[in-house]
Structure 1
Amino acid sequence: MMPWDGIVEFVAVAQTESFTLAALRLAISTAQVSRQVSQLENRLATKLFYRTTRKVSLTEEGAIYFRHCRQVLDALEEAERAISSLQHSPQGLIKMTAPVTYGETFVMPVVIDFMAQYPQVEVQCELTNKQLDLVDGGFDLAIRLGHLADSSMIAKRLTNRRQYICASTDYLAKNGVPTSLADLVKHNCLIGSQPHWNVRENGQNKVIKVQGKLQCSSGLSLLSAAKKGMGIVQLPGYYVNDAIASGELVVLLADYQQDKEGIWALYPQNRYLSAKVKLLVEKLMRELPKH
């Protein structure tokens, strides 16, 4: 038995979470996929999958093995492309993650255009506001917003965003206009995932704690609440630009506004960056809006 036997089948099952779907992807029979994976497990003396009638999932050992196999297969795939015309026609899977609203509104339209341009590319995109572990999750790419805390990742700036503190004229007419950060304690602040806002005071970026009656992880919901006069909100320009332009919202405390933040492509240092991912990142850099 060759040392590579079963690895391609194993990776396909891990990616699709199905022996049947893996067989379709590889254009072989389900029985052959099952046989190859079973032989691989026997050779490793390790159970790689939990199997039920409804679901196939990786064991802890399987997840570790998958991360290493995926890197090796990606490197082999890229080596072949380096000496063939496939370098100009990327193919294969890109597994990525992005924040929900920004991903739906801006990232996925670019990704869909990319897939139309390169029909052999597959994409699995998980839209979530959680900070997923890229290595454990087997992700090739993550889109992250604002300040980055994880220095173990390689980051490439795609574009920028600016945060605005704003409220409706109705709210301000009833509650007054704050002229300093200290005034915010007198107001109902509409809070996102974390009870703090990013501001700049005396030339220094800082984080201030805010409080209010509504906390929600959805920027669109906070925008709606602000338009209805429920309170003061801090949101990126891609949420509030139209409302500011129409006069529905008024920008407040502009002197305390931070400089533009980055919107980033993030990927693990130990993940082989394939040509398809490079091309997608370059497209995102060109086409994501500048806020």
Structure 2
Amino acid sequence: MRRWDAIEAFVAVVREGSFSAAAERLGVSASHISRRVAELETHLGTPLIYRTTRSIRLSEAGEQYFEECHRLLEGFISAEEQISRQQEEPSGRLKLTCAATFGERFIAPLLPAFMRRYPRLEIDLHLSNRRVDLIREGFDLAIRLGTLEDSSLLARRLCDRREYLVASPDYLERHGAPHTLSELAHHNCLLGTSSTWLFQDRGQRRELRVSGNWHSNSGPAVLAAARAGLGIAQLPDYYVTPLMESGELLPLLENNRYRHSGVWLVYPKVRQQLPRLKLLCDYLIDRFEDGIPWHSGA
């Protein structure tokens, strides 16, 4: 049995989520992938993947085996990259993910110039508000907003990011403005992907659970509700800065605004030696150093 071929097939099935998608990714047939995984399971003497008509699920042994196999595979890829690094024009695939609105407005427009500079590179950009598992799903880079949570990943700061609590003058005229965090319990809070908002309270980080009658996984939808006077929203600067400057939205509880947020380039440790990843990170950081689009001295 060609063990390495089988391991590559197994890792691809887990990352792509199906045998057919893994086959497409590796340029082989689905039956080839199925045979390789079956051979691997026979060799190990235990099931690795439970198959159903619609999905796959890893066994306990499969979970453990995947954690080791993906490291071996990434190490192999990294070794190949280092052998040929910078001796020829960089090539290969870069798979990255970013929150939808931020990616559409500020990341995607920067990538064509990068591709023109390095035409042998392939970019696979996923715009989604879902928080992906970089290692399991085979991503090279995530652009994450807010505060960092996963210490197993490496990160470089792309730029600052400020979260503002805002409401329309119409809403505040009808309901008054909150003067303390506790008063938010008496207001209609417009919820995005989380019902927990982050603040600074007496110099300490504080997470506060809020509630309201509007909930959407779309930042623009939450913004539209705030502009219409439905309630109070917590939104990042790139949504609200122009509207605060025009007076259409008013900032609230400024003394409690959390000031240690940012936009981060996050990647697995096994990817850090990839020359193409470093090129992209350096390029994005350089572009943002030219000026953050939504900041205007606020």
State the TM-score, normalized to the length of structure 2.
Answer: 0.75
1:44 pairs with 2:31: no
What RMSD over aligned residues (CA atoms) do the two structures have, in Å? 3.6
Q: Structure 1, unaligned stretches of length 5 or more? A: none
User: 1:188·1:232 contact (CA, 8 Å) conserved in 2?
Assistant: yes
TM superposition shift of 1:181: 4.3
TM superposition shift of 1:161: 0.7
Quick one: structure 1 residues 262 and 35, their matched pair in 2 at CA, closer, same or farther if it must change by over 3 Å? same
- Listed one character per residue, the Cα deviations across residues 202-253 of structure 1 (whole Å, up to 9, x for unaligned) are 5444444544333444322221111001122221111112322333212233
- Using the alignment, how far apart are the partners of 1:24 and 1:217 within structure 2? 31
2:80 matched to which residue of 1? 80
- Using the alignment, how far apart are the partners of 2:32 and 2:72 within structure 1? 22
- Using the alignment, how far apart are the partners of 1:77 and 1:42 within structure 2? 26
- Listed one character per residue, the Cα deviations across residues 131-188 of structure 1 (whole Å, up to 9, x for unaligned) are x554555544433322233334333222211111221122223233445545545533
1:91 matched to which residue of 2? 92
- Using the alignment, how far apart are the partners of 1:22 and 1:220 within structure 2? 35
User: 2:47·2:62 contact (CA, 8 Å) conserved in 1?
Assistant: yes
1:218 matched to which residue of 2? 218
Where 2:263 maps in the other structure, the secondary structure is strand
Quick one: structure 1 residues 124 and 51, their matched pair in 2 at CA, closer, same or farther if it must change by over 3 Å? farther
Comparing 26-35 with 143-152, greater Cα deviation is found at 26-35
1:247 pairs with 2:247: yes
2:168 matched to which residue of 1? 168
Quick one: structure 1 residues 281 and 67, their matched pair in 2 at CA, closer, same or farther if it must change by over 3 Å? farther
Q: Structure 2, unaligned stretches of length 5 or more? A: none
User: 1:100·1:129 contact (CA, 8 Å) conserved in 2?
Assistant: no
User: 1:78·1:275 contact (CA, 8 Å) conserved in 2?
Assistant: no
1:128 matched to which residue of 2? 129
1:189 pairs with 2:181: no
1:278 matched to which residue of 2? 278
- Using the alignment, how far apart are the partners of 2:178 and 2:30 within structure 1? 66
Where 2:4 maps in the other structure, the secondary structure is coil
Where 1:235 maps in the other structure, the secondary structure is strand
TM superposition shift of 1:285: 2.6
Q: What is the identity percentage for the equivalent residue pairs of Structure 1 and Structure 2?
A: 39
- Partner AA of 1:39 in structure 2: E
User: 1:155·1:264 contact (CA, 8 Å) conserved in 2?
Assistant: yes
User: 2:160·2:261 contact (CA, 8 Å) conserved in 1?
Assistant: yes
